[in-house]
């Protein structure tokens, strides 16, 4: 599954270098000349920090990095290039992608993703997101996020209970989410509405794995 993701990101024309942070062994994934293997750091947050630090070490002038999970094998180079463009255009500390239910259902009907109700729509989170490279040094932010990673109530307190109340009553817009999240986290955030279901179709359950397999088979047969 990770190989599909690596291939798509490496083939994107707007990606300069790829850092693959995972448990390994390194040789079990074919990496191109523009990719570097980094051993797993023991947790998602530590992996993100290490990846951002590697970006800064390679190119001190880099302003942003695109973060991808390893379980979205449906993405394509064109989707990655589109996402790089939107991150650059937003020019914020955190640019988070979301996919509307209608978009997801059109490509992956019955995906059973977790959707958040918003004013006029329902969205799920995407797994290609942009971060300003300098955020790697914000130790207070990372420590707070790490401390709340397994406690929903602490996370709600960090982001603000009003955010969740607005969502519960379907009064929250994407702009509200970005504004409130920015205020709570001390970052400039933006939410990008994504037209590609594949960016939000991560593989968490067996039925989702089978759906993505069939999706890729159809693509290869086309």
Per residue of the chain (222 residues), give pLDDT as tens: 999 999 999 999 999 999 999 998 878 899 999 999 999 998 888 888 899 999 999 999 999 999 999 999 999 999 999 999 999 999 999 888 889 999 999 999 999 998 888 788 888 889 999 999 888 777 666 666 666 544 544 544 555 545 555 566 566 777 777 777 677 777 888 889 999 999 999 998 999 999 999 999 999 998
R_g of the chain computed on alpha carbons: 17
pLDDT at 152: 45
pLDDT at 165: 54
Q: Which pTM was predicted? A: 0.86
Lookup result for tokens 């640019």? 95
Q: Give the CATH fold of the 2-221 domain.
A: Spore Coat Polysaccharide Biosynthesis Protein SpsA; Chain A (3.90.550)
For residues 204 and 210, the answer to whether their CB atoms sit within 8 Å is: no
pLDDT at 153: 46
Tell me: cis bond preceding 153? Omega within 30 of 0 counts.
no
Domain positions in the chain: 2-221
Q: Give the integer Cα–Cα distance in Å for 178 and 192.
A: 10
Alpha helices in the chain (DSSP H): 2-11, 44-58, 77-90, 101-107, 139-147, 152-159, 161-168, 174-185, 206-221
Q: Give the integer Cα–Cα distance in Å for 136 and 129.
A: 15
């Amino acid at each position: 599954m990770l190989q599909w993701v690596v291939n798509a990101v490496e083939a994107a024309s707007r990606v300069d270098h790829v850092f693959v942070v995972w448990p390994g062994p390194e040789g079990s994934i074919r990496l191109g000349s523009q990719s570097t293997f980094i051993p797993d750091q023991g947790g998602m947050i530590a992996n993100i920090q290490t990846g951002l630090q590697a970006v800064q070490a390679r190119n001190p002038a880099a302003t942003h990095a695109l973060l991808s999970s390893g379980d979205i094998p449906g993405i394509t180079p064109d989707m990655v290039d589109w996402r790089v463009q939107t991150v650059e255009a937003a020019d914020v500390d955190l640019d988070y992608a979301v996919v509307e239910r209608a978009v997801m259902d059109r490509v992956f009907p019955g995906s059973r993703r977790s959707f958040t109700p918003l004013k006029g729509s329902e969205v799920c989170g995407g797994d290609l997101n942009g971060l300003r490279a300098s955020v790697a040094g914000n130790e207070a932010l990372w420590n707070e996020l790490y401390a709340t990673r397994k406690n929903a109530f602490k996370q709600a307190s960090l982001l603000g209970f009003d955010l969740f109340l607005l969502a519960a009553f379907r009064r929250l817009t994407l702009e509200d989410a970005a504004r409130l999240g920015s205020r709570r986290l001390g970052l400039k955030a933006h939410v990008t509405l994504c037209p590609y279901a594949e960016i939000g179709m991560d593989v968490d359950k067996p039925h989702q794995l089978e759906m993505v397999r069939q999706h890729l088979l159809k693509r290869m047969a086309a």
